[in-house]
């Protein structure tokens, strides 16, 4: 039995759900509301001391880290492969998953916070001391930086760089897709699975103008192909609570003109 501890708003969990569905592996979910702090219960900390989702439990054994979980699934269940068989093509796919883990994920946290989550934190937590003292898996330094995101939104230090980094990755995707239908060659692969939650997050934040209307046509076509897959909705959209979907869309819409200015999108 494959069990996944996950949450609707988590891009990393969405990546693993997408891989599970593409590999047609049956799984059982344990839904943790990470926005309500359910990742900090003593029971969950025993299986994932980092207090993060996703976590996979397979036959009583634990695997953490979304990319590592996908690699594990591929090795244990080689049917319906999502990693390219050709070693060089597989290396290209892994460059994408590495970029997601190292660059895009931190950029995604930042944009999601400054555009949307900050409003909920300001309403529910209110002040820095309470934010700092709330259960967290982050260092004091990281908490302080996050509080700047919460307090100052798009004007917080370093935010513009992170948004530009996100945009750079969309451009890199557009270049890669000039020569092939999918990110790592002619076959759909883990590279597409890994990038999808991050493009979808921008879409949910009402920011598809970052690639649409001719700006990055290959990304637009790619995302349309991704959305047409029968696995897309049930992995990416159906798990997201309706109020969160609404907050992301509305808050994103309000921030768009400022982001468009940063990216010089007319």
Ligand X SMILES: N[C@@H](CCC(=O)N[C@@H](CS)C(=O)NCC(=O)O)C(=O)O
By CB under 6 A, name the binding residues for ligand X.
Answer: 10-12, 34, 39, 51-54, 65-67, 101, 137
* Residue placing its CB nearer to ligand X in the complex, 122 or 260: 122
Residue environment code for 129-148, b if the CB has 16+ CB neighbours within 10 A, otherwise e: eebeeeebeeeeeeeeebbb
Q: Which residue is listed with tokens 């400054």?
A: 114
How far apart CA 60 and CA 237 sit, in angstroms, is 29
Shortest gap between Cβ of 86 and ligand X (angstroms)? 25
CB of 35 to ligand X, least distance (A): 9
Q: Residue 105 CB, nearest distance to ligand X (Å)?
A: 6
**Residue 42: exposure state from Cβ atoms within 10 A (0-12, 13-18, ≥19):** exposed
Q: Taking the complex as a whole, how short is the minimal distance between the CB of residue 198 and ligand X, in angstroms?
A: 11
Taking residue 172's Cβ as centre, other Cβ atoms within 10 Å add up to 15
118 or 218: CB nearest ligand X: 118
Residue 71: name the closest of 29, 30, 15, 27 by CA.
15
Question: Residue 197 in contact with residue 248, Cβ under 8 Å?
Answer: no
**Cα 111 to Cα 105, 107, 153, distances in angstroms:** 10, 6, 9
Q: Which is nearer to ligand X, 51 or 236 (CB)?
A: 51
Burial class (CB in 10 A: 0-12, 13-18, 19+), 245: middle
Residue 94 Cβ vs ligand X, minimum distance, rounded to whole Å: 14
Give me the least distance between CB of 56 and ligand X, in Å please: 10
């Amino acid at each position: 039995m494959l069990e996944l501890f996950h949450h609707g708003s988590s891009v990393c969990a969405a990546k693993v759900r997408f891989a599970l569905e593409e590999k047609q592996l049956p799984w059982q979910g344990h839904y943790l509301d990470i926005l309500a702090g359910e990742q900090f219960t003593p029971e969950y900390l025993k299986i994932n001391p980092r207090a993060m989702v996703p976590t996979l439990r397979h036959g009583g054994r634990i695997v953490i880290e979304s990319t590592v979980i996908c690699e594990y699934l591929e090795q244990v269940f080689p049917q319906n492969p999502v990693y390219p068989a050709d070693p060089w093509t597989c290396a290209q796919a892994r460059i994408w998953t590495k970029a997601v883990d190292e660059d895009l994920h931190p950029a995604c946290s930042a944009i999601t916070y400054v555009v949307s989550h900050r409003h909920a934190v300001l309403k529910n937590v209110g002040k820095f001391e309470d934010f700092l003292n709330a259960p967290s898996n982050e260092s004091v330094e990281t908490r302080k930086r996050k509080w700047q995101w919460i307090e100052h939104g798009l004007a917080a230090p370093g935010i513009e760089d992170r948004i530009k980094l996100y945009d750079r990755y969309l451009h890199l995707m557009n270049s890669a897709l000039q020569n092939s239908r999918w990110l790592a060659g002619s076959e759909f692969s883990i590279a597409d699975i890994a990038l999808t939650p991050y493009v979808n997050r921008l879409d949910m934040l009402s920011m598809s103008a970052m690639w649409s209307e001719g700006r990055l046509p290959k990304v637009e076509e790619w995302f349309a192909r991704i959305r047409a897959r029968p696995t897309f909705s049930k992995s990416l959209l159906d798990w997201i609570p309706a109020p969160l979907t609404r907050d992301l869309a509305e808050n994103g819409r309000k921030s768009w003109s400022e982001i468009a200015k940063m990216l010089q999108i007319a």
